[in-house]
Amino acid sequence: MARVLHYVCVSMLMWGNLSADVTKSAEEKKKSKETVSIPEVRDLSVRFVEGQSVDIELDAAVGSVKQPDFIIRQQPANGTLTNLRPHQKESNKAIITYTHKGVDIPLMDRFTYACRIDGGPMSAPAVVTLSGQRMAPKLNLLNTPNFSKIFVGGESSAKIILKNEGTAPYFMNIAWPDGWVGPASIDVPMGKTIDIQIIFRPKRVGEFRFEAELQKGVASSKLILFGDCLRPLTVSPSNITLTLDTKTGMRTGSFSLINGRPETVVVTLKMPARLSGIAEMEIPAQGKVDVAVSLGAQDVEIYAGEIGVVTGTTEEKIGVQAAPKPAELRLVTPENGVLDFSMIDQRKKVEREVILLNAGGEAMVVQLECQQPFSIEASGHALRIEPLQQRSVKVTLKSETSGKLDQQLKVIGGTSTLSVRMLAEVKEAKGTTEPRPIPMRTGETVVAPLAPVIPAPGNTNDDVTAAGRTAMQSAFLAYLQMEGLPIPKQFINPYLERVASLALTERTSSSLTLAWKKPDIAPAGWILETSSQIYSPAHGVFIKAWNRVNNWKPVEGSEVNKIAVRLHSLNPTTQYEIRVMGVDREGKVSEPSPQALFSTAQAFRIPSWISRIFLLGALGLVIYVLYRVRRGDFQEV
């Protein structure tokens, strides 16, 4: 029995120890399981700005509510780290600040970190990869400005909105092109948005366009400005040529003014010297007015000037030119057209004067004809009268026979002819034997010295004039004086278009710039000719000769439908008569253009008052030197 009790007691004691061991083993196993729980950290990628600081959130995955301890395992090479700071909201995170070392330091960097809980085992390290970017602005234009159509002198404004989305402030100085007004510089802080006012204020008519990238290489910063400036007042044409009114003797022309505004416009016309026209007018809204200008009947010279058309602050120019008035022959003396020699003695020489006037603007050559016993004393074989000039001609009467005389003095000038009636009564000389009269054939004349008459073309039985020429011969000579020798037909290409008119576009003291309409079929080249008067001994008159001009060159940049050339190396204040012909590849020419007269401008001269100032200055210097010499200031040392 005692042995059984002993066995039971021993068994109970062993079971108690075994239970205690099992419980202790479970607790130790549970405690061991809690101890070996290891947290995990995550890899991170962070971007930063060169030379700047950035906060980084270190993140850990733990199976406990306890705060993990973060540890930096490897420091970055191109920057520095601050001390770790706990995250304010999440217990499994920590904050650390990375600062890049600055300019010229590589922008790629890295460091590693780990964590543990309550001094337990360390987690595997995680890598924080750092990628940097340089500090630079990034300008973005957020809108497209729109400008309304305006007239010259007006303005339109619009705003542009700029935003800097980069990592640095944006600044630039800007020069706005013609027609646009804006700030001299643009300054946009980092991350800010600004408005800029731009004004469209053109000074001329036309379309204005400006394109530019405000930040080079950034497409979002491209600025496009477009504006359209209209002409408030249209002037047509911009150049006018005055034409001669044969009834009034005035040279006249006109141009049109068209008002494009919705209100009435007051226009002031600045007329140049010699030109007559209205000084001011009102043009109704969307209306049109024709303006007439003229040169007086007594104004005969070549003309070139500009009319100023002023509306508000704008002014346009209209070129005006006019060829000189054609030569016009007038009789000044005798006023009544009768040259009265009265009563004279037989064989006595008596002279009377005839004064002729060229009332036109071109030079003319005249020829005088009369019959015996009247004669003419004129220099040369013809008489040249310049524009607005008078020439005096001596008519002599010396008769060998007595009796009354009633004859005509004919003055032929180009296409006009004057007749002067010459009256005289010749008394028989006493105590002398009357000489035998010299028989005269009907139609025989005595004229100023002339060269042999050219053969008459056509019928040789034409009526003979007082000069011994047929009417056809006289007409042909007049044509030669005014037009020159015609171009033979075999040298003319009838398919080449004739230049209708020449216009003067610019002139200086040594050059003339001419333009004409471009033909539909352009020739291979152009020939320019100027005229001169040469005396022909064979014909006894001055004949117009055409000389080819070599000192000219085409003008680049002229209008598409115009041909423009510039004649250079010309004499100042000189009148040139010019015509133009097209020429083909075989050397044949078109019909010549109408003859046009143009004058070069006056050469620049030093004003006389400047010369007087220099002269007075030199005289004063001489007087001052003489005064110093007399006072003894200049003595030998």
| Region 131-156 average pLDDT | 86
pLDDT at 2: 52
Question: Are 204 and 225 found together in one domain?
Answer: yes
- CA dist., res. 124 & res. 518, Å (int): 90
- What type of residue is 413? G
Q: Is residue 113 included in any domain, yes or no?
A: yes
Q: Are residues 318 and 416 in the same domain?
A: no
Q: Is residue 465 part of a domain?
A: yes
Query: Are residue 471 and residue 585 in the same domain, yes or no?
Result: no
What are the angstrom distances between the C-alpha of 526 and each of 521, 563, 568, 598, 600?
13, 10, 16, 19, 22
Share of the chain above pLDDT 70, in %: 85
Looking at the structure, tell me whether residues 211 and 273 fall in a common domain. Answer: no
Whether the pTM exceeds 0.75: the reply is no
Residue 606 belongs to a domain: no
Domain-ending residue, one of 230, 251, 275: 230
Q: Give residue 293's pLDDT.
A: 93
Contact 576, 530 (CB under 8 A): yes
pLDDT tens-digit readout, 402-425: 888 999 988 887 777 889 999 999
Q: What is the pLDDT of residue 479?
A: 74
| Residues 150 and 222 both lie in one domain | yes
**Number of domains forming the structure of the chain:** 5
Asked whether residue 613 is assigned to any structural domain, the reply reads: no
User: Which is nearest to 476 in space by CA: 543, 386, 385?
Assistant: 543
pLDDT tens track for 160-192: 999 998 888 999 999 999 889 999 999 999 889
State which amino acid sits at residue 15: W
Domain boundary among 203, 230, 257: 230
State the pLDDT at residue 225. 92
- Does 27 fall in a domain? no
Q: Is residue 244 part of a domain?
A: yes
Encode pLDDT of 348-376 as tens digits. Answer: 889 899 999 988 888 888 888 888 888 88
- Please return the burial class of 236, using the count of CB atoms within 10 Å of its CB with bins 0-12, 13-18 and 19+: exposed
Residue 481 has pLDDT above 80, yes or no: no
Q: Do 506 and 445 belong together in one domain?
A: no
pLDDT at 438 exceeding the cut of 50: no
Nearest-angstrom CA–CA distance, 206 and 494: 42
My answer on whether 390 and 470 are in the same domain is yes
DSSP string, 583-628: E-TTS-B-PPPPPEEEEPPPPP---HHHHHHHHHHHHHHHHHHHHH
Same domain, 284 and 382: no
- How does pLDDT run across 543-601, given as a tens digit for each residue? 888 999 989 999 887 677 889 999 999 988 888 999 999 998 888 899 999 989 899 98
CA–CA dist 437, 227 (Å, integer): 95
Domain that holds residue 183: 139-230
225/238 same-domain check: no
Check whether 451 has a pLDDT greater than 70: no
Together in a domain, 450 and 377: yes
256 in a structural domain: yes
The verdict on 80 and 123 lying in the same domain is yes
List, for residues 258-311, the tens digit of each pLDDT value. 887 888 889 999 999 989 999 898 889 888 899 999 998 888 888 999 999 988
In this structure, the answer to whether residues 66 and 152 fall within a common structural domain is no
Q: Is the pLDDT of residue 514 over 90?
A: yes
CATH of the domain at 395: 2.60.40
| Token pair 């600044």: residue | 171
pLDDT of residue 320: 93
Distance from first CA to last CA of the chain, Å, rounded? 169
**CATH number, domain at 210?**
2.60.40.10
Question: For 30-78, what is each residue's pLDDT tens digit?
Answer: 444 455 568 899 999 999 988 889 999 999 988 777 888 899 999 999 9
- pLDDT computed for residue 539 by the predictor: 65
Mean pLDDT of the chain, nearest integer: 82
Domain membership flag for residue 621:
no
